[in-house]
């Protein structure tokens, strides 16, 4: 698995051994970042603050940093995965732009002062089969983690129930093999008049 684009393009990503983590494929990662780069409704990746929930190897966060994000907070409870994230931080020399948060994504609590400002993009790629997207969204909102125009990018199994995205509107969804990727933003009071039609492309790639 490698960084797809940006200043770290082509660099290999260290991944945890075993089946406890399941990294997003290079192809799906490239597609989702291309959408973020060109969609009018998405915040710029350049200088964005991102949070990578269920981080695993940290592939999504490191891809964002490679493409110009200013900071990434990796949220991961699995000890081996945290060790791999540390290895990748050292490998890519991302010491001043990253932090590892040893907390469950479904029990984040209030955003601590050490986490800095709110986050513009939240990535989440939880284990399949456990319906962990909506509980994490609830925690992000309750703990005041997200900026006003924040975007959530979530990957689930095509066989899992569709997340409800409480308080968010889904602007894009697409299948990539066994995975389905959603992108959603916070619903604001004036969104009823300015709502963007949801992109729904169901074919596999």
**Residue 191, pLDDT score:** 58
Sheet holding 71-75, edge to edge: 98-101, 71-75, 49-53, 119-124, 146-157, 179-186, 168-176, 199-201
Token representation of residue 84: 């791999």
Residues 6+ apart with CB under 8 A from 180: 155, 156, 157, 158, 160, 173, 174
Cα–Cα distance measured from residue 138 to residue 36, given in angstroms and rounded to the nearest whole number: 23
Per-residue pLDDT of 27-45, as tens digits, reads 889 999 999 999 999 999 9
Per-residue pLDDT of 10-21, as tens digits, reads 999 999 886 556
What percent of the chain clears pLDDT 70, i.e. is strictly above it? 89
What's the average model confidence in pLDDT over 56-67? 97
What global pTM score does this model have? 0.90
**Residue 195, pLDDT score:** 47
Report CA 4 to chain centroid distance, whole Å: 15
Per DSSP bridges, beta strands 71-75 and 98-101 are parallel
Q: Considering only the top CATH level, what class is 26-188?
A: alpha beta
Per-residue pLDDT of 166-181, as tens digits, reads 999 999 999 998 999 9
Please report, for the chain, the start and end positions of each structural domain, with discontinuous segments joined by +. 26-188
Residues 6+ apart with CB under 8 A from 77: 102, 103, 104
**Residue 39, pLDDT score:** 94
Residues 6+ apart with CB under 8 A from 140: 51, 108, 122, 146, 152
Per-residue pLDDT of 179-204, as tens digits, reads 999 999 998 776 554 444 565 555 44
Residue 6 has pLDDT above 80, yes or no: yes
């Amino acid at each position: 698995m490698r960084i797809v684009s940006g200043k770290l393009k082509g660099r290999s990503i260290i991944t945890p051994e075993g089946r406890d983590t399941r990294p997003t494929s290079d192809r799906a990662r490239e597609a989702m970042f291309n959408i973020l780069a060109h969609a009018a409704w998405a915040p710029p990746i350049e200088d964005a603050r991102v949070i990578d929930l269920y981080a695993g190897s940290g592939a999504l966060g490191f891809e964002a940093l490679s493409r110009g994000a200013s900071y990434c907070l990796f949220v991961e409870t699995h000890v081996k995965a945290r060790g791999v994230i540390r290895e990748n931080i050292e490998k890519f020399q991302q010491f001043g732009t990253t932090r590892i948060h040893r907390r469950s994504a479904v029990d984040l609590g209030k955003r601590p002062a050490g986490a800095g400002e709110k986050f513009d993009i939240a990535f989440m790629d939880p284990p399949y089969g456990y319906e962990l997207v909506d509980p994490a969204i609830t925690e992000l909102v309750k703990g005041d983690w997200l900026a006003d125009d924040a975007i959530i990018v979530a990957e689930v199994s095509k066989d899992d129930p569709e997340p409800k995205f409480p308080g968010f509107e889904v602007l894009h969804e697409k299948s990539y093999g066994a995975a389905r990727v959603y992108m959603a933003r916070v619903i604001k009071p004036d969104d009823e008049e300015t709502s963007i039609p949801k992109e729904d492309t169901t074919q596999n790639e």
